[in-house]
Structure formats: structure tokens, C-alpha cells
């Protein structure tokens, strides 16, 4: 992994070399300041003043060059507009084509300017992080507050770039008009804003602007849940992406995600009845449901390793194992064996290919489509979570074929085994194994999860609360540069080689966020897994009623993400949403306790809805933050950040389901309160840890 300073130098446009941020010089100054303060030759106030002046000069250099280039682009567009006016009087197809190509050339030059700004924005944020980390100051807050809000702010030019937006608009409008005139239409982009404009250079410009502003919308917010790696610095789309991309293979990957989530939750409404029909207690449903998660703890590791070499073979193996597991789950009824039932669910867990699903999107989907594919991955998971219980509610029948029983307990197994068999046939026919990269290139590009510090300057500077904790103590590289990602020399910054080494790379804030992830998954699993037992005991609900309740909870996932991604995250900082969501989860847990008799349906439904929706909001914001603070060394290899987060969530489900079964020994009357108590303790601990981490960082 190359240090940021070297990357910055490699990505620079040669003719603009003198106008980039002098990142190396400022890092050396930070080191000199530290030495001078240590020996007592410099006081801190002078250091702050001198560093502020240096940053002001660097930003002024960038902004003046930016304004100069904007003026040149505007002049070129003005001349092209004059040519376009003349062509309206005497249209000529060849001249129109030349004019369109000229506009495209301006667009390509604008792209260079946008990349120039983005690289400098990242450099500014990184040097501010280094300064804060080295001296323990809140200098970033001071600098941004004083510079960004000043009427003559030059910092605003770096992350607001209103003028560049106008240039993008001018190029887009004129290219669209030339195209419409050529086709005999007189509509402008303002008449049909919803229709897509097929112009690659315009799409590239819009994508670059979105990256620079780090605009928050539903699709962006949803895509971050998948924890898919993005490049640290802006790059042009490479040919390898298009060669490896295959739409049908991506679709099969998403279908695998959907079916697995359906498979996970389709048994929840009937697991207690199935356990009792086999002679076990109703609360054994916790082990039945959780056994799938137990196996997933191990399957996540070997699927993550397998995806280094192939995508097709792991998916085939996953389908076969899930087919066998579901058949065993269904046959357990006729064999009257709880052991076969549990082994079947273990087999289902051993077929969890979510690591492969993530990896395929990261490695084989072009950058321009990766956000949509990531959002599709999350949406498929959410829909599967809702469809599983809903499908179970529809399977209310009872008949026999030969000696095989088909009822509400066994039909989920038979239906899912048929689904996986059909999927296996489709997979075998339609999936195309992408060509594997060479060892050298894959070492540089292999990634499964977390975006590493590519958010815009405005996000990075105004939300430094968790971002600043990513860097460990800085050491010097061989060339005298600091490597701030994880404090290791450049040559030792390879991917983690074990779970233990990966855990050692976690900073305090990342550990807190993994604790939050554990907490919300634990609370959600307790709510979902014990719902059938609790509602039957207190309210006498049927399987259909439980299925409707669980399906309604699952259907809230996408609407909640729309509201949070489109509105709430634009109004509040992520850290505010994070803490508020934790508190709301805690309130939902408190309201769920059976303290006042009688325990009513409105109390259970409302408290469950508050808990579930708050946990969904919390999961989105938490993963969004986690994707930006994870060490770059955890973005590659088998033991990556995605695996760690998956293991944290899976372990939470295992512990929650185990708690349900153990609490069952105390009787169904005490099940609700006993299982909610650990949820409350973990939730309060996560809130305290969040507040403590915030205060210790600042």
C-alpha cells in the first residue's frame, strides 16, 4: 500500500504540478513543530499561527488556480455557444458533430479540474487530521469554523464549487440541445428532467461532483450499508471493470442474497410449533433459529477465503448445501428428530455466501454502477427479511404425499429446497466466472468492504468526531513521510492474516461501532426470534398473525432508509443521529418490559416497532460511519473489515438465540423480561461507550 503522499504525486497532472497542495512539506512542518515544542524552542500559540498561515497560503494557491481554470473553461464555452447560435441559422450535420465533440472536450477538461479539487480536498483533510492527532488540539474545528463561515472564505471554494456546477450545467444543456436538434426535437433538459441523458462525459462529470460534495441521498445512504470498498483517490474507469462485469451474474448474486435472507426468516413464525411437535419446549426455537447463525460464523471465513480464487464455485457449493439443509429441515418432522432439524439448520448456515456476494460487487462491478449494485444488495436483504415471514404465513396447509408430511412446519423447508434447486440450475446455466486478476494487481485492488477516506472535504472536516481516530501513532517511512493510515511502515501495510491480527488493527472508535452493531443485531434478533412464543403466550396469536407482524416490520426497512438518507442525514450530523438512535432503541427496550398487567397488544407492537425502526436507523448510520473509519489494511484479503462486522452481527444473533433457549427454562411467563434485560444492559453500555469515545477524542 503506497502512502498518501506518494499517491498524490503519482495522480498529479504534470502541467498543474505546482498548484497542488504541498502535502509533503506540511507533514515535514508538523514533524518540525513537534520537535521544536519538545525541546522548548517553540510555543504552541506560535505553532498554531504559523500552521494556519501555511494552510491559508496553500488553499489560496489552489483556489486562485481553480478560478483561473474556471475562467478559461467559461471562455471556451462562450465561444462554442456563439458557434452554436450560428449553426441554428444554417444547420450542418458535420459541424454539429464537431461542436458536440468540442463540448465533450471541455467536459473532459472539467473532469480533470474536478479531480484536481478532490485530491486537494482529501490532502487538506488528511493534514488537518495529522495535526490534531500529533498535538491533541481541536484545530480542525477552529480552522473550519473561522475559515468556512467567513464572507471572504477561500475554503468554501474548495468544497462548495458553485462555479463548477454552473460549468457542468452549461455543458450538459448545450450537449442535450445539440442532440435534440439533430433528432428534430425542441425540448431542453429542463422540460424533461426525469429522462436520462445518454452522454458519458456528462455522467462522469456528475459522478465526480457527487464524490466531491459527498451528496447525501437515499441511494448513497443505502449503498453504504453494504460496506463496499471505494478508491481513496479519484481514478478513471479501467477496462478491467467492464471485462469482468456481467449483468446476469450480478443478478444471480443478488438473488442469492435475497433467497438466503428468506431462508433465514421463513421459519421464525413456526419454529416454536415445530419444536413442540418434535417433543421439545417452545423456547427451543431459539436454538433452531440460532443454529444457522452458529454455522455462519465459520462459513463467513471460508467463503471469504474462497472468493479470492473463484465466485462461481462458492455459489454452487452454497446452493447445494442449502438445498440439503432445507430437505433435512423438512424431513425432521417425519423422522420425529430434533437432531435432524438442527443439523439441517446448521447446513443452511454453512451455505451463507454473503461474503462472496459482497466480494463480487466490489471486484466485478464497474465503479459507475457500484453504488447501485451495493444498494441492490441491501435492498435484496431487506426484501428477503420481509418476504420470509410473509411466505411462512401463506403456507397454512396440511397434506401428505406417500410418507412425506407437508404442513406449516415442514413447507418452509420444502419450498426453500425447491427454490435453491431452481436457483442452482439457473446459476449453472447463466453465471459467468470473471477472469481472475494477476497477483500483483489483485493485491492493489482486492477489496470487499470499507470505503477509505474518500468522502468530501466538507464531510471530512465538519464530521471529524470518528474519523480522527483512524490513525494510530505515526511512524516515519523510508522516504521521511508519515503513513497515517495505521501507523505501520509502508512495506508492512499488507492485509491482515488472521482474525487476531485484524482485531489488533481496530481503533477505539471502530471497536465502539462494532459494539453498537452487536447491540442492535442482538436486540433485533431477540425481538424477531421470540415473537412467536411471546405473542402466543400473551395474546394467543396464530402463525398467520405472527407472520404479518414480522413482515410489516421487515417492510419498514426501505421506507426508513429513504427518510433517513434523503432528509434526516441532510439535517443532522451522523454522530447526532447515531446517539439519538441508540437512545431510541433503549426506550423501545424499556417499553417492551412486562411490568404492568395486563400486557397489551398495543404496548408490544408499538415498543417493538420503536425498537426495530430505531435499530434500522442506527444500523444505517453506524455502517456509514464504519465504512469511513476502518483501517485501509482491513479493506483487503480474507480477514477484512466486512468479515469482522459480519462476525460481530452473527455472534450477536447466536448469543441472542441462545439466551432465548436458556431463558425458556425459567418458564414462558418470564421469557420476555429475562431476554430483554441483556438487551438493555448491552444498549446502555454502547451508549456509555459512544459518549466516552466522543469525549476522549475531543
pLDDT of 452: 34
Q: How many residues does the chain have?
A: 698
Between residues 615 and 692, the one the model is more confident about = 615
| Most confidently modeled range among 44-53, 218-227, 344-353 | 344-353
Residues 641-657: b if buried by 16+ CB within 10 A, e if exposed:
bbbbbbbbbbbbbbbbb
Q: Report the SS3 class of residue 169.
A: helix
How far CA 141 is from CA of 132, 146, 463, 576, in Å, comes to 10, 9, 9, 17
**pLDDT, position 479:** 36
pLDDT at 312: 93
For residue 623, pLDDT over 90 is answered with: no
Q: What are phi and psi of 401, to 5 degrees?
A: -125, 110
Residues with Cβ < 8 Å from 276, sequence gap 6 or more? 282
CB distance 540 to 580 below 8 Å: no
Output 99-107 pairs: Cβ under 8 A, ≥24 positions apart. Answer: 99/178, 100/175, 100/178, 100/179, 103/77, 103/171, 103/174, 103/175, 103/178, 104/175, 104/199, 104/201, 106/73, 106/76, 106/77, 106/80, 106/171, 107/171, 107/175, 107/201, 107/202, 107/204, 107/205
Note whether 170 and 190 are within 8 A (CB).
no
Asked if omega into 598 is within 30° of 0 (cis), the reply is yes
Rounded Cα gap, residues 444 and 675, in angstroms: 45
Q: What is the DSSP letter of 492?
A: G
SS (H, E, C) 284-311: HHHHHHHHHHHHHHHHHHHHHHHCCCCC
Tell me if 462 sits within 8 A of 144, measured CB to CB. Answer: yes
Least confident of 171-180, 333-342, 486-495: 486-495
Top pLDDT among 12 and 279 is at 279
Report the range out of 230-244, 336-350, 561-575, 613-627 with the highest average pLDDT. Answer: 336-350
pLDDT, position 264: 92
Q: Which residue has the cell 457500484?
A: 370
Cα atoms in the 13 Å half-sphere on the side-chain side of 546 = 32
pLDDT score, position 263: 94
Task: Return the SS3 of 401.
Answer: strand
Residue 594: pLDDT above 70? yes
- Which three cell numbers mark 572? 443532522
Q: What is the pLDDT of residues 47-78, one digit of tens each?
A: 888 888 888 888 888 888 888 888 888 888 88
Please tell me the predicted confidence (pLDDT) of residue 440.
38
Residue ranges of domains in the chain, CATH in brackets: 3-182+200-228 (1.20.58), 247-432+500-693 (1.20.1250.20)
- Range ranked top by mean pLDDT from 2-6, 531-535, 664-668: 531-535
Q: Provide the pLDDT for residue 209.
A: 63
pLDDT in tens, 418-442: 999 999 999 999 999 887 654 334 4
Q: What is the model's pTM?
A: 0.68
Find which of 21-30, 342-351, 361-370 is predicted with most confidence, using mean pLDDT.
Answer: 342-351
102-105 CB contacts, 8 Å cutoff, 24+ apart: 103/77, 103/171, 103/174, 103/175, 103/178, 104/175, 104/199, 104/201
Amino acid at each position: 500500500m503506497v502512502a498518501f503522499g506518494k499517491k498524490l504525486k503519482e495522480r498529479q497532472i504534470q502541467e498543474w504540478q505546482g498548484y497542488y497542495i504541498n502535502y509533503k512539506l506540511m507533514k515535514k512542518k508538523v514533524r518540525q513543530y513537534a520537535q521544536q515544542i519538545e525541546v522548548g524552542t517553540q510555543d504552541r500559540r506560535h505553532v498554531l499561527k504559523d500552521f494556519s498561515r501555511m494552510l491559508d497560503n496553500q488553499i489560496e494557491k489552489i483556489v486562485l488556480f481553480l478560478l483561473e481554470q474556471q475562467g478559461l473553461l467559461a471562455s471556451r464555452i462562450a465561444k462554442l455557444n456563439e458557434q452554436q447560435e450560428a449553426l441554428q441559422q444554417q444547420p450542418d450535420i458535420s459541424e454539429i458533430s464537431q461542436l458536440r465533440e468540442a463540448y465533450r472536450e471541455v467536459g473532459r477538461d472539467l473532469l480533470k479540474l474536478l479531480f484536481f479539487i478532490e485530491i486537494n480536498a482529501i490532502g487538506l483533510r488528511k493534514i488537518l487530521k495529522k495535526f490534531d492527532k500529533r498535538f491533541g488540539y481541536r484545530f480542525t474545528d477552529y480552522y473550519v469554523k473561522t475559515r468556512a463561515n467567513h464572507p471572504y472564505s477561500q475554503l468554501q471554494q474548495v468544497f462548495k464549487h458553485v462555479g463548477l456546477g454552473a460549468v457542468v450545467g452549461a455543458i450538459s444543456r448545450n450537449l442535450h440541445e445539440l442532440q435534440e436538434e439533430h433528432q428534430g426535437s425542441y425540448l431542453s433538459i429542463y422540460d424533461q428532467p426525469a429522462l436520462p441523458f445518454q452522454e458519458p462525459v456528462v455522467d462522469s462529470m456528475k459522478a465526480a461532483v457527487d464524490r466531491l460534495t459527498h451528496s447525501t441521498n437515499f441511494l448513497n445512504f443505502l449503498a453504504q450499508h453494504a460496506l463496499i470498498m471505494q478508491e481513496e483517490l479519484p481514478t478513471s474507469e479501467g477496462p478491467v471493470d467492464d471485462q469482468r462485469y456481467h449483468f446476469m451474474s450480478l443478478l444471480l448474486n443478488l438473488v442469492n442474497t435475497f433467497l438466503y435472507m428468506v431462508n433465514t426468516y421463513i421459519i421464525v413464525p413456526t419454529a416454536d410449533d415445530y419444536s413442540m411437535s418434535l417433543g421439545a419446549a417452545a423456547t427451543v426455537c431459539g436454538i433452531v433459529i440460532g443454529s444457522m447463525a452458529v454455522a455462519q460464523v465459520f462459513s463467513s471465513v471460508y467463503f471469504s477465503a474462497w472468493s479470492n480464487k473463484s465466485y462461481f464455485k462458492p455459489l454452487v457449493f452454497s446452493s447445494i448445501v442449502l438445498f440439503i439443509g432445507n430437505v433435512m429441515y423438512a424431513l425432521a418432522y417425519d423422522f420425529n428428530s430434533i437432531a435432524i432439524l438442527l443439523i439441517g439448520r446448521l447446513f443452511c448456515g454453512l451455505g451463507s455466501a454473503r461474503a462472496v456476494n459482497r466480494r463480487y460487487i466490489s471486484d466485478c462491478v464497474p465503479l459507475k454502477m457500484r453504488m447501485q449494485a451495493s444498494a441492490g444488495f441491501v435492498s435484496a436483504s431487506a426484501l428477503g427479511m420481509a418476504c420470509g415471514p410473509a411466505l411462512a404465513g401463506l403456507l397454512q396447509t396440511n397434506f401428505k404425499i406417500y410418507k412425506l408430511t407437508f404442513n406449516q412446519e415442514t413447507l418452509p423447508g420444502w419450498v426453500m429446497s425447491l427454490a435453491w434447486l431452481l436457483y442452482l440450475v439457473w446459476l449453472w446455466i447463466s453465471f459467468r466466472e470473471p477472469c481472475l486478476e494477476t497477483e500483483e494487481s489483485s493485491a492493489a485492488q482486492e477489496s470487499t468492504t470499507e470505503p477509505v477516506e474518500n468522502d468530501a472535504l466538507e464531510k471530512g472536516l465538519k464530521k471529524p468526531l470518528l474519523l480522527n481516530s483512524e490513525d494510530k501513532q505515526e511512524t516515519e517511512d523510508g522516504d521521511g513521510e508519515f503513513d497515517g493510515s495505521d501507523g505501520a511502515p509502508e512495506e508492512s501495510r499488507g492485509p491482515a492474516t488472521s482474525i487476531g491480527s485484524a482485531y489488533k488493527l481496530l481503533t477505539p472508535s471502530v471497536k465502539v461501532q462494532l459494539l453498537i452493531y452487536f447491540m442492535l443485531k442482538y436486540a433485533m434478533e431477540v425481538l424477531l426470534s421470540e415473537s412467536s412464543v411471546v405473542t402466543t403466550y400473551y395474546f394467543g396469536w396464530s402463525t398467520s398473525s405472527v407472520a404479518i407482524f414480522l413482515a410489516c416490520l421487515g417492510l419498514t426497512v426501505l421506507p426508513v432508509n429513504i427518510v433517513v438518507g434523503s432528509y434526516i442525514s441532510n439535517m443532522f450530523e451522523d454522530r447526532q443521529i447515531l446517539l439519538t438512535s441508540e437512545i431510541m432503541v433503549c426506550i423501545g427496550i424499556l417499553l417492551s418490559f412486562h411490568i404492568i398487567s395486563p400486557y397489551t397488544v398495543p404496548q408490544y407492537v408499538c415498543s417493538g416497532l420503536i425498537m426495530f425502526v430505531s435499530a434500522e436507523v442506527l444500523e444505517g448510520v453506524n455502517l456509514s460511519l464504519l465504512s469511513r473509519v476502518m483501517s485501509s489494511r482491513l479493506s483487503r484479503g480474507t480477514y477484512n473489515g466486512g468479515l469482522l462486522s459480519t462476525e460481530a452481527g452473527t455472534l450477536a444473533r447466536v448469543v441472542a438465540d441462545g439466551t432465548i433457549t436458556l431463558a425458556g427454562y425459567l418458564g414462558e411467563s418470564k421469557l420476555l423480561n429475562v431476554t430483554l434485560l441483556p438487551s438493555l444492559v448491552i444498549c446502555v453500555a454502547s451508549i456509555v461507550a459512544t459518549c466516552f469515545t466522543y469525549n476522549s477524542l475531543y
